[in-house]
Amino acid sequence: MLEVILGFITFFTSTITAIVGLGGGMMLIAIMPSFLPINAVIPIHGLTQLSSNISRAFFGYKDIQYEVVPKFLIGSLLGVGLFASIVSLISLEYVPLFMGAYILLSLWSSKFNDKIKKFENYYLIGFFQSGLSIVVGATGPLAMTLLLKDYKDKNKVVVTAAAIMCITHILKLIVFMYFGFVFFDYIGVIIAMVVGAIAGSWIGTKLRDKVDGKKFTMILKVILTLLALKIIIGTII
């Protein structure tokens, strides 16, 4: 029964992400602690999201903007290497607060964007998104915020985000396997969630074409804003 419930929840969240590019992953990671031990949430979420992102990138491979991938990969390798080595040594309690603030300012403050433009790039986004994913779980809004600035076509934004998120989740899973997490202990749940994720990606890809470009941008900005506020409030409370 647990497998069926989590499979359907993953299908729903994966469909949402395939339509607008994000949101589903953060919904899923917020729901999973009600069903799974807390130590299993981030690694299983990472594996599920990897299947969701791979399938979403596969279904829309023609829209991937490959020029950003090597930059993001280099930043990700450095970020995961650093954060994996220091995660047990420092407190990362307030990191999500800065993440949320960056997303909000980047979306709505032209002055902030003018000042940060010379520092904002895919090397840096990869470094923080992949590095922080080890402890925060769902860091996709970081890359999505930059992609939304660089590309106006909704398919390019969603599918490129999926491609680079694959890098984040692969590196994260390697770290969890290195630290001894046994995925096979949850094989039934994982299979159900992976099937749900792939099915959701397929349905969401079909539905994305029905969303108007301007509406898509506004919907995405609203979702990013709500997620950023959730991150900030969750850190403070």
Give me the pLDDT at residue 137, please.
57
Alpha-carbon gap, residue 140 to 76, rounded angstroms = 13
Give me the pLDDT at residue 230, please.
82
Alpha-carbon gap, residue 28 to 217, rounded angstroms = 22
Alpha-carbon gap, residue 32 to 42, rounded angstroms = 9
Burial class (CB in 10 A: 0-12, 13-18, 19+), 79: buried
H-type helices in 137-186, by residue range? 141-150, 154-178
* pTM of structure: 0.81
pLDDT in tens, 193-229: 999 999 999 999 998 888 776 787 788 788 878 888 8
Residue carrying structure tokens 């300012």: 105
**Beta-carbon-side half-sphere exposure of residue 20 (alpha carbons within 13 Å):** 20
Check if the beta carbon of residue 126 is closer than 8 Å to that of residue 79.
yes
At 171, give phi and psi (nearest 5°): -65, -40
224-233 core/surface letters (b: 16 or more CB in 10 A; e: else): bbebbeebbe
Give me the pLDDT at residue 4, please.
94
Low-confidence ranges of the chain (pLDDT < 70): 87-95, 116, 135-138, 213
